[in-house]
Amino acid sequence: MKIAVLPGDGIGTEIVAEAVKVLNALDLKFEMETAPVGGAAYEAAGHPLPESTLKLAREADAILFGAVGDWKYDKLDRPLRPEQAILGLRKALGLFANFRPAICYEQLTHASSLKPELVAGLDILIIRELTGDIYFGQPRGRRMAADGHFPGAEEAFDTMRYSRPEIERIARVAFEAARKRNKRVTSVDKANVLETFQLWKDVVTEVHKDYSDVQLDHMYVDNAAMQLVKAPKAFDVIVTGNMFGDILSDEASMLTGSIGMLPSASLNDKKQGLYEPSHGSAPDIAGKGVANPLATILSAAMMLRFSLGQAEAADRIEAAVKKVLAQGLRTPDIYSEGTTKVGTVQMGDAVVNALR
């Protein structure tokens, strides 16, 4: 089992160290190799995704990723910015299916900004298409407007596009996932305004014919954003495009108490996967030892289950996380009165102890 470990920038290095510690505490043999990515790679090699890092990622069974980015790189040309590393990895490895479970652990119902009764027992899965949509669509760029409201003025443009096979394969992933859960899929689109999402809706409806045991609803993205905070437990599996999924999954993170609790998996059709917390590099708290490592530790559990065939070890890690929460240990982002505030390393140590 070869794991490429790419900690990245900011809190990335701190939280990945804790996940590695947890993996090493299991009685399993891994080959782990670390490489720079993002701003760290730009500093070391002049590129956010050096060829050597990409080679390691391609050869690994799974990638454990921290986070990339820092405000100090905002002035760099776009291809050199740290965030291009994650986009490059998704594209190079064909990681089209992003799984973002949003689970509200019993002990954290009060850490959510929503009323406890709305989030208690929450367990939903957002499946976001990850290699298409406006984030990758060409053409894009800046130019002088030839028409529009202000001809002759500088303008910028991006292209939203999805092909039928891209929609078909993510729809199948969602229906298959729903079969293992509560058999309900909500497809989120903006078909009332966008051609791209009319095709999305049509194709998802067609694919659904092969999954008559799963219930399918369609919802416009603006309504979905509202329903997610109004009645989140009404959802089971949400499937949507790259941009809508990006926004909705961050919204869903607050249902769970903190973005520091939200793991993710990005898979290709060979089940090779990149596993990372749903949050970014959090430059505001980097180096302070206060970042919540649980999203990364839970991402490592998803890695064991989805890419490494070690479901039992994944269950053990998830049980250990529940145990430390039950012990009342909290990093500052999920702290509430009456619990014990701990730092990143202490939280990682507690998970290791709970495993034993």
Catalytic residue among 91, 202, 250, 271: 250
Rounded distance between C-alpha atoms, residue 136 and residue 161, angstroms: 8
Q: CB under 6 A: which stretch of 66-74, 137-145, 171-179, 207-215 binds ligand NAD? A: 66-74
**Nearest-approach distance from CB 25 to ligand NAD, in angstroms:** 20
- Tokens linked to 332: 């500052």
Among 100, 201, 279, 330, binds ligand NAD (CB under 6 A): 279
**3 state SS of 161:** coil
- Which residue, 204 or 255, has its beta carbon nearer to ligand NAD? 255
DSSP code for 144: E
Count the residues of the shown chain that bind ligand NAD, applying the rule CB under 6 A: 22
Q: CB under 6 A: which stretch of 54-62, 157-165, 235-243, 280-288 binds ligand NAD? A: 280-288
The verdict on whether omega for the bond into residue 277 sits within 30 degrees of 0, i.e. cis, is no
132 binds ligand NAD (CB under 6 A): no
**Nearest-approach distance from CB 13 to ligand NAD, in angstroms:** 12
**3 state SS of 7:** strand
The question of whether 349 is a catalytic residue gets the answer no
Catalytic residue among 135, 162, 211, 275: 135
| CB of 120 closer than 8 Å to CB of 146 | no
The question of whether 201 is a catalytic residue gets the answer no
**Nearest-approach distance from CB 268 to ligand NAD, in angstroms:** 17
Using left for φ > 0, alpha for ψ between -120 and 50, and beta otherwise, residue 226 falls in alpha
Rounded distance between C-alpha atoms, residue 141 and residue 139, angstroms: 7
**Nearest-approach distance from CB 15 to ligand NAD, in angstroms:** 6
The question of whether 213 is a catalytic residue gets the answer no
Tallying the residues shown for the chain, one arrives at: 356
Q: How far is CA 147 from the centre of its chain?
A: 38
Rounded distance between C-alpha atoms, residue 190 and residue 198, angstroms: 7
Site mask, ligand NAD, residues 232-271, x = CB under 6 A? ---------------------------xx-----------
Rounded distance between C-alpha atoms, residue 48 and residue 39, angstroms: 6
330 binds ligand NAD (CB under 6 A): no
The question of whether 183 is a catalytic residue gets the answer no
**Nearest-approach distance from CB 262 to ligand NAD, in angstroms:** 9
How far separated are the first and last CA of the chain, in Å rounded? 22
**3 state SS of 292:** coil
DSSP code for 106: G
Q: Measuring CA to CA, which residue among 237, 285, 226 is closest to residue 260?
A: 285
333 binds ligand NAD (CB under 6 A): yes
The question of whether 55 is a catalytic residue gets the answer no
68 binds ligand NAD (CB under 6 A): yes
- Which residue, 167 or 243, has its beta carbon nearer to ligand NAD? 243
Interface with ligand NAD (CB under 6 A): 11, 15, 67-70, 83, 86, 259-260, 276, 279-285, 291-292, 295, 333
- Point out the residues that are catalytic: 135, 190, 222, 246, 250
